[in-house]
Amino acid sequence: MKEASILGYANETQNLYDEITQPILIISLDDDFMATPKSVDLFAELVLKNAKKKRLNIIPKEYGLDKIGHLDFFREKNKEQLWQIPLEFLEE
């Protein structure tokens, strides 16, 4: 698969991704079929080149969950297990 097809709009000439230098928490979910851990790694490496990155891949079972998928990280049902992760990063 070509890099351009993986990154889509990130390769457009009018973007500001190169200017991002702030710390970023990059999370992938092991059971996300749309944003797979590998695609998130590529995005972080090729697009967020200048950002200070903290990378985390979440495996649902390690957090006592059967599944999270692409859309459920911020659902109320996962509040106790997952929401503290980005909050702790922001507090650092």
Contacts of 85 (CB under 8 A, 6+ apart): 25, 27, 56, 58
pTM of the model: 0.80
Mean of the per-residue pLDDT values of the chain = 89
Domain ranges of the chain: 3-91
Using a 10 angstrom Cβ sphere, with 0-12 exposed, 13-18 middle and 19 or more buried, the burial of residue 68 is buried
pLDDT value for 1? 45
Segment 3-28, tens digit of pLDDT: 545 566 566 556 788 899 999 999 99
pLDDT in tens, 42-79: 999 989 999 999 999 999 999 999 999 999 999 999 99
Measure the CA–CA gap between 17 and 61, rounded to whole angstroms.
33
Average pLDDT rounded to a whole number, residues 27-41: 96
**Secondary structure (3-state) at 57:** strand
Using DSSP's 3-state secondary structure scheme, residue 27 falls into: strand
